[in-house]
Amino acid sequence: MSVTANFQRQRRPLFGELSNTVSHWQIWVLMGNQDIKLRYKRSVIGPFWISLTLAAWIAGISILYAQILNQPFLDYLVFLSCGLLAWNLISAIIGEGSVSIIDNGGHIRSAAIPLSLFAARVVYRNVIVFFHNLLVIALVLIYAKVPPTPALLILPASLFANAILLYFFISITGPLCARFRDLQQIISNLLQVSFFLTPIIWQPGQMSGRTLITDANPFYHMIELIRAPLMGSLPTTTNLVACGTMLIAGWLASMLVWRYSRKRVIYWL
């Protein structure tokens, strides 16, 4: 009988946790599916509450701000809804990710489960939500008569890159939020501010000459990755370079956090 340990002990620090996530995909997929199922179990229209919420946001903001910012309604509607789609993914994952380790304390205390699985669970369930939201965006694009372009083909890659980036991001914040209990509040405050600092309800072109506020904003690049192909163009080289840099930095930083927290997380909970 072959003898294997339940989960891989970390022999290869660069890939150990990643390979745990990949080889135990059943666990986080199962957990994510349960989360989605539970969230809408007792409502009639079920998961489409998610889409409805986004639709209400889009309708509310676009009607008001197209007026305030003096923009053509249809153009603004498309820009806003594609941006909100991406922002919803990012903010939900970061927000839920900061409690991912605390909420799973019961599991962590009773079985040897790699921490990265809980980050993957949060990312996975929000990617499912993303697809629900995508329906609304599709309707908006059809309503605004935006023709589909070949740029749409890179959308899956954009989504994947965002998912990986966010997976690294919450692999860092999740354990740290368990160690420092006020970090969660700090993160949620920063998220709220970022929503207004990032070009979602306003367009980058409106800040004439001041590119620092967009270029130095990591969320801008992540959103562009998804928004640009939906609006029929490709993300710029700056976007790609920024996201690539963040991916590498996120990988290294999350590796450090995994190493630091793996043995300690049990007494942070």
Partner 1 sequence: MVKVDVRDATFSYPIYTSKSRSFKNTLLSGQVGGMGGKGKRSTQVVHALHDVNLSLRPGDRLGLIGHNGAGKTTLLRLLAGISHPTSGSVDLEGRVIPLISRGLGINPELTGRENIELPLRLFGATGEEVRWAHETVPDFTELGDFLDLPVRTYSDGMRARLSFAICTALTGDILVLDEWLGAGDAGFVQKASRKVKQMVQESGIVVLASHTPSILQQNCNKLAWMRRGEIVAMGDPKEVSEAYASEMRRRGRSGIGYEDGKGADDAAAQLAEREKAIQAQTELMDTAWTSHKYVEARHHAEHLYATENSSKAAYRLGTIHFYGRGADKSAAHALPYFRHPSLSDDPWSIYHQGLIMCDPTYPQHDQQIARNLLEVAFARGIRDAGPKLAALEADAADLKTG
Residues that bind partner 1 (CB under 8 A): 3-7, 24, 26-27, 30-31, 34, 37-38, 41, 106-113, 176, 179-183, 186, 262-263, 266-268
- Whose Cβ is closer to partner 1: residue 137's or residue 177's? 177
Nearest approach in angstroms of CB 114 to partner 1 is 11
Question: Could you count the other beta carbons within 10 Å of the beta carbon of residue 47?
Answer: 16
Nearest approach in angstroms of CB 107 to partner 1 is 6
> Is the Cβ–Cβ distance between 225 and 164 less than 8 Å?
no
**Structure-token pair, residue 216:** 């130095």
Nearest approach in angstroms of CB 244 to partner 1 is 29
- Whose Cβ is closer to partner 1: residue 111's or residue 212's? 111
- Whose Cβ is closer to partner 1: residue 10's or residue 217's? 10
Backbone angles phi, psi at 155, to 5 degrees: -55, -45
Nearest approach in angstroms of CB 196 to partner 1 is 23
Alpha carbon distance 259, 240 (integer Å):
28
Residue found by looking up tokens 């806003």 in the block: 80
3-state secondary structure of 92: helix
- Whose Cβ is closer to partner 1: residue 18's or residue 58's? 18
> How many residues are there in the chain?
269
> Is the Cβ–Cβ distance between 93 and 59 less than 8 Å?
no
- 229: nearest Cα among 56, 86, 55: 86
- 84: nearest Cα among 195, 162, 236: 195
Could you say which DSSP state residue 235 is in? P
Residue found by looking up tokens 């909100």 in the block: 84
- Whose Cβ is closer to partner 1: residue 196's or residue 267's? 267
Nearest approach in angstroms of CB 243 to partner 1 is 27
Nearest approach in angstroms of CB 63 to partner 1 is 38
- Whose Cβ is closer to partner 1: residue 145's or residue 263's? 263
